[in-house]
Amino acid sequence: AVSDATRGIPWVNQSGGDYILCLLFFAVSVILYTTFGGFRAVVWTDVMQGLVMFAGVIILLILTLQQVGGLGNATKELAKMTPPEFGTAALHVENATQTGSEIKKGAWVRTADGKTMRLMDRAVIQPGETASEPVEVVILTTESDAAKVQAEIETGITARVTDSKEYAFGAGQEGVYLVPPGPHKSSPSGFLPVVLALSFFVFWNFSGAGQPSYMVRQMAYKSTVVLRRSIMMVAVYFTLIYFPLVLIFTSARVLIPGMEYAADRAMPEMAATVTSNAGMPWLAGLLVAAPFAAVMSSVDSFLLLVSSSIVRDIYQQSINPNATESRLKKLTYTVNIIVGVLIVFAVLNPPEFLQTLIIFASAGLGCFLMPMIFALYWKRATAGGIVAAMIAGAGTILVFYIIGKVVYDEFTAYELGGFHPFIWSMFVSAAVAIFFSLIGRQPDKTLVKKYFG
């Protein structure tokens, strides 16, 4: 019903009805508890969401390893696999109907010569017609993958490939999933070359320290003792969460073929598959709650950060220093709702891979790392130098992504020298911070003494 209602609406009609419905419920809940609960609500919900994530990941890991036959068997299966092909195909039926037909996204179909493929978008056969317009498909190239989905192939429909394209790296190579850099759809250098891997090592380890959403959370600590304990607990927690996820999604390549059609759905598909195979489909709800909890814990923090920045840092500091708490509270509610609605509108048509957006946003926010380091540890740093460094770092990230869009015709970063743009943004922001701080007025001596002694 939702799909029918939104079919003629530009931008919105690119997503399925189930996605839109879930997004609306998700958005309303996050906006409400963030708006009316504030920082305390965000902190406590993050704690509960962390517990849900931990429980969900551990249960999913156990079920996955049981059904894949252990890591040894998963490795043997991966060694036989070759990357799929991407292309387009038209779907044909023997007899035309007056009502036409629609084949849903994710459906399995087969060509006359036996090729098995999965639809990346819904296909529509118009009334009185026997064929659809070409739609994007994922074409399996591994026989064992094709054998696993034979029971799911649509009957009465024959596909005809109109175009196909092999992986830019790893096409036809058995074992390519087990050795670096790994296969890649569009990059001739592979999924994760050594230089890019080093970039991500720096990126994921240190970019978080510069993200404003994490800085806001530091205000919740009552002492440095609590802070040190929290650092140790988070290190252990992340290890228990992220390492199992690597094992789970590596095994997903074996258990659920063809997920390239919607890679972001791998987690819920895995949850549904392993719980159904285990005879406990009701458990899928808890497992699916884990990724939702992860998303909610990030969204509420950024929503709180944006509203507090606009209300406290801009409005109260620069526009109306004498604003009452009542007025600030009402303004906070308004900003939260407006920003939340804008975010919902932006993600009504999501990118192909959510991870692409996460890396872009994390890199953009991580460019505050060097300005923060200079502000904390360099006595000569000035406000002008720090602001200029923030702008330069964010601008560097943006420029590299614009170049990537022009060069590769997709939303991805241009990796100069094989390095992720985050690395270059660190050097640029550091240089800009030093330059503008040195040419500007020296900081007030009383202020320097207050913070540096």
Question: pLDDT confidence of 432, banded at 50, 70, 90?
Answer: very high
Amino acid 297: pLDDT: 81
In the structure, what pLDDT confidence band is assigned to residue 45 with cuts at 50, 70 and 90?
confident
> Would you tell me how many other CB atoms lie within 10 Å of the CB of residue 303?
22
Q: What are the beta bridge partners of residue 86?
A: 138, 165
Report, as an integer, the average pLDDT of 340-359. 77
pLDDT of residue 137: 97
Is residue 140 a contact partner of residue 157, using CB atoms and an 8 Å limit? no
Amino acid at site 178: L
Q: How far apart are CA 191 and CA 263, in angstroms?
A: 15
- In this predicted structure, the answer to whether residue 83 has a pLDDT above a threshold of 90 is yes
Assess whether pLDDT exceeds 60 at residue 349: yes
Domain boundaries, the chain: 1-81+226-349, 84-165, 351-453
Q: At what angle do helices 383-408 and 369-377 cross, to 10 degrees?
A: 160
Q: Compute the average pLDDT of residues 420-445.
A: 93
Q: Per the omega criterion (within 30 degrees of 0), is the bond before 181 cis?
A: yes
Q: What's the mean pLDDT in 257-284?
A: 92
Task: Check residue 3 and give its pLDDT.
Answer: 58
State how far the Cα of 1 lies from the Cα of 251, in Å rounded to an integer. 35
Confidence of residue 15 (pLDDT cuts 50, 70, 90): low
**What contacts 383, CB < 8 A, 6 or more positions away?**
none
The winner for highest mean pLDDT among 40-54, 353-367, 382-396 is 382-396
* pLDDT > 70 fraction of the chain, expressed in percent and rounded: 94
Buried b (16+ CB within 10 A) or exposed e, 56-66: bbebbbebbbe
| E strand spans, 120-204 | 123-125, 135-139, 158-165
Instruction: Encode pLDDT of 276-327 as tens digits.
Output: 999 999 999 888 888 888 788 888 888 888 888 899 888 998 899 888 889 9
CA 101/CA 109 separation, integer angstroms: 15
Q: Which pLDDT does position 368 carry in this prediction? A: 85
- The identity of residue 318, as a single letter, is S
Q: Using 50, 70 and 90 to split pLDDT, how confident is the model at 345?
A: confident
Query: What pLDDT score does 115 carry?
Result: 96
The whole-angstrom separation of Cα 297 and Cα 43 is 9
Backbone φ, ψ for residue 86 (5° rounding):
-110, 145
The pLDDT value recorded for residue 131 is 95
For residues 16-37, give the mean pLDDT: 84
Report which secondary-structure segment, H or E, holds 83.
Answer: none
Return the structure tokens found at 387: 């602001």
Contact of 12 with 19, CB cutoff 8 Å = no
CB 131 within 8 A of CB 91: yes
For the entire predicted model, the pTM comes to 0.83
Average pLDDT rounded to a whole number, residues 228-245: 89
Q: How far apart are CA 288 and CA 50, in angstroms?
A: 14
Task: Give the whole-angstrom CA distance, residue 220 versus residue 227.
Answer: 9
Q: How far apart are the first and last CA of the chain?
A: 66
Q: Please answer whether residues 200 and 193 qualify as being in contact, where contact means their C-beta atoms are separated by less than 8 angstroms.
A: no
How far, in Å, CA of 422 to CA of 430, rounded? 12
For every residue of 194-241, which 3-state class applies, written as one string?
HHHHHHHHHHHHHHHHHCHHHHHHHHHCCCHHHHHHHHHHHHHHHHHH
Q: How far is CA 238 from CA 53, 198, 226, 243, 369, in A?
A: 11, 20, 18, 8, 21
CA neighbor of 269 nearest in space, from 23, 102, 253: 253
Q: Say which residues have a Cβ less than 8 Å from residue 450's Cβ, sequence separation at least 6.
A: none
The predicted pLDDT at position 450 comes to 87
Maximum pairwise Cα distance, the chain: 86
How many beta carbons lie within 10 A of that of residue 304, not counting itself? 23
pLDDT at position 4: 62
Pair of tokens at residue 303: 């929503």
Task: Say what the pLDDT of residue 351 is.
Answer: 64
Give the per-residue pLDDT at 206.
Answer: 81
pLDDT band at 11 (very low <50, low <70, confident <90, very high): low
Highest mean pLDDT: which range of 214-218, 238-242, 361-365: 238-242
Mean pLDDT of the chain: 89
Give the pLDDT confidence of 90-124 residue by residue, as tens digits: 999 988 888 889 999 899 999 999 999 999 988 99
Tokens 């991966």 correspond to 78
Radius of gyration of the chain (CA): 25
Q: Are 392 and 429 in contact (CB under 8 A)?
A: yes
Mean pLDDT for the stretch of residues 121-132: 93
Mean pLDDT of 356-362: 77
Instruction: Select from 76, 50, 74 the least CA-distant residue to 61.
Output: 74
Q: Look up residue 189 and give its two tokens.
A: 């250098």
Q: What's the one-letter identity of residue 164?
A: S
pLDDT at residue 2, rounded to an integer = 55
